[in-house]
Amino acid sequence: MRPIYQVVMVKAYDGALVLTDVLLLIFKIVYYICESVFSFLIPREKSVAGEIVLITGTGHGIGKELALRYASLGATVVCWDLNQESNEETVNEIKNKHRTIAAYAYQCNVSKREEVFSVAEKVKKEVGDVTILVNNAGIMPCHAFLDHTTDEIIRIFDINVLAHFWMLQAFLPNMIKRNHGHVVALSSVAGLRGLPNLVPYCASKFAVRGLMESISEELRISTKGRSLIKFTTICPYMVDTGLCKKPKIRFPEAMPLVTPWETASQIVMAQRRDYRERSVPQLWLTLNTMLRNLPDNALCCLIDFLDSGVEADS
Ligand SMILES: *[C@@H]1O[C@H](CO)[C@@H](O)[C@H](O)[C@H]1NC(C)=O
């Protein structure tokens, strides 16, 4: 038996340690809240000049606008698309507008893992190490759940989710080796809230958020906070790209379709400011976070009032 005063001393010492930890934790939380208020007021955007940006789905829509935007900021742009013709148009447009910018077009079916790896190898040889990866390519078939064919459901997950895994497997190791890089993924407001006629699509976009959040946590914790690789997940509202064929919006003046150009410039801004998650417009993410706490019936009334979504494709 140890003398009682020793036991008391040890307990007091342990207690003091925990108390110090708690005080330190409170201090850090307050510090980082102040820091984020400060960077909200005076945002800093990192330069992308000289970075090698790879974007999937650059043949049209948001992907194309992203390629143009990154090129205008001085980045080398690597464009991947299934459709070689429209992809080369994007690259030619970049070269015509920005004569000093290097831009490359590669044809790739991102749902094929082997193809992703072989095209990635080519990019490494011909262009160099990709430092910013934008997983943008996606499809959005709209039907009632039971009208989706099995093949269609598999295709949605192949392109919207599994392709992100193959791209990360191909490009993340090099980013980790250099401890430098940024991964951007396109989710959707349909990845924040389930919507009718979009069951597989919503599930795929929720999956993207899960993938991005867990991979960034894994890197942060496994490197004890030393990882400098950033992750940004974007949730656009309905964008006027042709992906969303039959949008239904009760108040189109208050909730207009967003243009691909506007969406792309918001995405690039979010990436340059190292935001972890962002919706376009940002209001949707804020509203979603707040309104999720309403009672179910109240939330349903609000959703019915807004009466917006997409109708099934014919
Ligand atoms: C892309 O790859 C998938 C999976 O192998 C395949 O089912 C699909 O037909 C391919 N798409 C094209 C246009 O080649």
Chain segment 122-152, per-residue pLDDT in tens: 999 999 999 999 999 999 999 999 999 999 9
Q: The tokens of 240 are what?
A: 């006027």
pLDDT of residue 70 exceeding 90, the answer is yes
pLDDT computed for residue 217 by the predictor: 97
Say which residues have a Cβ less than 8 Å from residue 70's Cβ, sequence separation at least 6. Answer: 48, 53, 55, 77, 132, 268
Token pair for 112: 């094929």
Q: Which of 11, 103, 96, 122 is nearest to 55 (CA)?
A: 103
Q: What CA–CA distances, in Å, run from 157 to 16, 118, 165?
A: 51, 21, 11
pLDDT of 249 > 80? The answer is no
Mean pLDDT of 234-251: 74
Mean pLDDT in residue range 183-206: 95
- Residue 216 confidence class, pLDDT cut points 50, 70, 90: very high
Ligand 1 nearest atom to the CA of residue 82, by list position? 13
Residue 62 and residue 264 in contact, taking contact as beta carbons nearer than 8 Å: yes
The encoded tokens of residue 89 equal 């148009």
Q: Is 249 in the pocket of ligand 1 (CB under 6 A)?
A: no
The pLDDT assigned to 304 comes to: 84
With a cut of 70, say whether residue 244 has pLDDT above it.
no
How far is it, in rounded angstroms, from Cα 259 to Cα 262? 5
Question: What separation in Å is there between the alpha carbon of 112 and the centre of ligand 1?
Answer: 7
Please work out whether the CB of residue 312 comes within 6 Å of at least one atom of ligand 1: no
pTM of the model as a whole: 0.90
Compute the distance between CA of residue 142 and CA of residue 314 in angstroms, rounded to an integer: 9
| 82 Cβ closer than 6 Å to some ligand 1 atom | yes
Cβ-based neighbour number of residue 314 at 10 Å: 7
SS3 45: coil
Q: From the CA of 110, how far away is ligand 1's center (Å)?
A: 9
Average pLDDT, the chain: 92
Tens of pLDDT, residue by residue over 87-102, are: 999 999 999 999 889 9
Dihedral sign for Cα atoms in the order 203, 244, 255, 282: positive
